[in-house]
Structure 1
Amino acid sequence: MDKLNLVKMANNIGAYFQSEPDREVAITGIEQHIRKFWEPRMRTQIIDYLKEDGSELMDIVAEAVRNLSVQK
């Protein structure tokens, strides 16, 4: 899957959690969703995208992906 589609998918997840008033709960929700529903190859690609650029990711999504990369 190309990185632009992954970014769009990740940001859609972020948009869902954006209404959560507690930022940490939102970040954890995004991280858990990606960990649970994305295959390892997709997770690796989004982590790589964040390391290379990451400019198209929402702030809360970027933070969730950062957490994924630490716990990988």
Structure 2
Amino acid sequence: MSPDKLRYQANQIATFFASQPEAEQIEGVADHINKFWDPRMRTQLFEITDESTEGFKPMVVAALEKVRRPETVGPNN
């Protein structure tokens, strides 16, 4: 998936959760990504955000601490 499309999707999730109570927003974004994004998408999310969080809504950036980072598996594992 292109980085722009992934960024767009993450920001759309944040837009949806912006209507929720403030205490539930970050947890909601992280929970949605953990449940519905496959490990490849989450890996790509971290590859992008480890370089820069530019273009991501602050709620997405805050939720990254709660998103499960997929384990990297080497070719011999």
Coarse TM-score class (shorter-chain normalised): 0.7 to 0.9
Alignment root-mean-square deviation, CA: 1.2
In the TM superposition, structure 1's runs of 4+ consecutive aligned residues that sit over 4 Å from their partners are none
Cα deviations by residue, 1:1-32 (Å, 9 ceiling, x for unpaired) = 1111000000000000112232x410000001
The corresponding residue for 1:38 is 37
Amino acid at match of 2:15: A
Corresponding residue pairs, total: 69
Work out whether residues 46 and 65 of structure 1, in 8 Å CA contact, stay in contact via their aligned partners in 2. Answer: no
In structure 1, stretches of 5+ residues that fail to align are: none
Q: Matched residues in 1 for 2:47 and 2:65: separation? A: 10
Contact 1:17–1:29 (8 Å) recurs in 2: yes
Residue identity opposite 2:34 in structure 1: R
Q: Which residue of 1 aligns with 2:64?
A: 65
- TM-score, scaled to structure 2: 0.81
Q: Is the 8 A contact 1:7 1:56 kept in 2?
A: yes
Q: Which amino acid aligns with 2:44?
A: Q
Percent identical residues: 35
Q: Aligned partners of 1:21, 1:55: CA distance in 2, in Å? A: 25
Q: Counterparts of 2:65 and 2:52 in 1: how far apart (Å)?
A: 12
Report matched runs for 1:4-43 at 5 Å: 4-22=4-22, 24-43=23-42
Q: Following the alignment from structure 2 to structure 1, what is the Cα–Cα distance between the partners of residues 46 and 62?
A: 11
Is there any run of 5+ residues in structure 2 with no aligned partner, and where? 70-77
| SS of alignment partner, residue 14 of structure 1 | helix
Point out the structure with the larger helix share.
1
